[in-house]
Chain A
């Protein structure tokens, strides 16, 4: 019973934070709503016995990523209410309709039985209990899974992070070189 209550409260915070991101005019408020949403998602991880992932969620999402967002907001000085960001009415209607349609699509996938009856529903027909999760030892199991079955994807993420870092440096550096070029010619 208690887990239903915890789920309900964190679900409200998740959705409220998400709505705050979408609706707030001030980017700083949007970023702080994002933190609320991320932390409530971490609570959902704890309910599902993924304690290590909850920790990572708080540190990486709630810490690093949101701080990066706030840093860029402050750096660019867009932390004021923007008049330019008012979308047209048709765009708002189209966005809301698309969101509702997508939600309806997923609900149909969840609740409507396919040709195979309930057997074909929700993809919950996979082999259950193949590697039973021991919630007191989820770090070791996660490590064993990543470094054995998912070793190649893991190395691919290392490559991805390297490329992202180099890409960010190159983009910012090249644009500085371009903007300084005309001045050099004038001099």
Chain B
């Protein structure tokens, strides 16, 4: 059995789907951010598989950029979580409905 990029793409799809389901199911914003990180990692796996298959280093630089974006996202997201926790004690995203039209 040979290891082809199809296996990596399948793993990437499965990881992305788990992250997606997690974001939809969980109500704790911290866990939702973790699921977003899982989805970013799934994209990283797809990028690295394509980079090796097409022998193009551009996939690896894309992963580096995704890392930077993930770091910035975590900084902003976690400071939002800290602010939310200060306002209402329990962290449940369903309670955050001030912006509802």
Q: Which residues of A contact B (CB under 8 A)?
A: 1, 3-4, 7, 11, 14-15, 18-19, 21-22, 27, 30-31, 34, 37-38, 41, 44-45, 47-50, 52-53, 56-57, 60-61, 64-65, 68-69, 72-73, 75-76, 78, 82, 84-85, 87, 91-92, 94-96, 98-100, 102-103, 106-107, 110, 122-124, 126-133, 138, 141-142, 144-146, 149-150, 153-154, 157, 160-161, 163-165, 167-168, 171-172, 175, 179
Which of A7, A64, A76, A146 has most chain B Cβ within 10 Å?
Answer: A76
Q: A53-B64, A68-B74 are in contact. List 20 more A-B contacts (CB 8 A).
A: A4-B2, A21-B34, A45-B48, A48-B8, A57-B44, A76-B82, A76-B91, A96-B25, A98-B21, A106-B17, A107-B10, A122-B9, A128-B53, A130-B54, A133-B52, A133-B56, A133-B60, A153-B65, A157-B68, A175-B86
Q: Known contacts A98-B20, A98-B24: does B15 contact A14 (CB below 8 Å)?
A: yes
Closest-CB distance, A168 to chain B (whole angstroms): 4
Q: State in angstroms the CA–CA spacing of A64 and B70 once bound together.
A: 11
Residues in chain A near residue B56, CB distance under 8 A: 126, 130-131, 133
Q: Known contacts A41-B44, A50-B48: does B78 contact A69 (CB below 8 Å)?
A: yes
The closest CB in chain B to the CB of A164 belongs to B72
Which of B7, B18, B57, B68 has most chain A Cβ within 10 Å?
Answer: B57
Q: State in angstroms the CA–CA spacing of A169 and B83 once bound together.
A: 12
Per-residue interface assignment for chain B, residues 40 to 69, with 1 indicating a CB less than 8 Å from any chain A CB and 0 otherwise? 010011001111111111101101110111
Residues in chain A near residue B51, CB distance under 8 A: 48, 50, 133
Chain B, interface size: which category?
A: 35 or more
State whether A69 touches B61 (Cβ < 8 A). Answer: no
Residues in chain A near residue B76, CB distance under 8 A: 164, 167-168
State whether B28 touches A85 (Cβ < 8 A). Answer: yes
Interface SS of chain B = helix
State whether A102 touches B71 (Cβ < 8 A). Answer: no
State whether A41 touches B72 (Cβ < 8 A). Answer: no
Q: Known contacts A7-B3, A85-B92: does B30 contact A96 (CB below 8 Å)?
A: no
Residues in chain B near residue A48, CB distance under 8 A: 8, 48-49, 51-52
Residues in chain A near residue B14, CB distance under 8 A: 15, 103
Q: State in angstroms the CA–CA spacing of A133 and B52 once bound together.
A: 8
Q: State in angstroms the CA–CA spacing of A15 and B14 once bound together.
A: 8
Residues in chain A near residue B8, CB distance under 8 A: 7, 44, 48
State whether B22 touches A21 (Cβ < 8 A). Answer: yes
Q: Known contacts A21-B22, A160-B69: does B41 contact A41 (CB below 8 Å)?
A: yes
State whether A87 touches B61 (Cβ < 8 A). Answer: no
Residues in chain B near residue A168, CB distance under 8 A: 75-76, 79
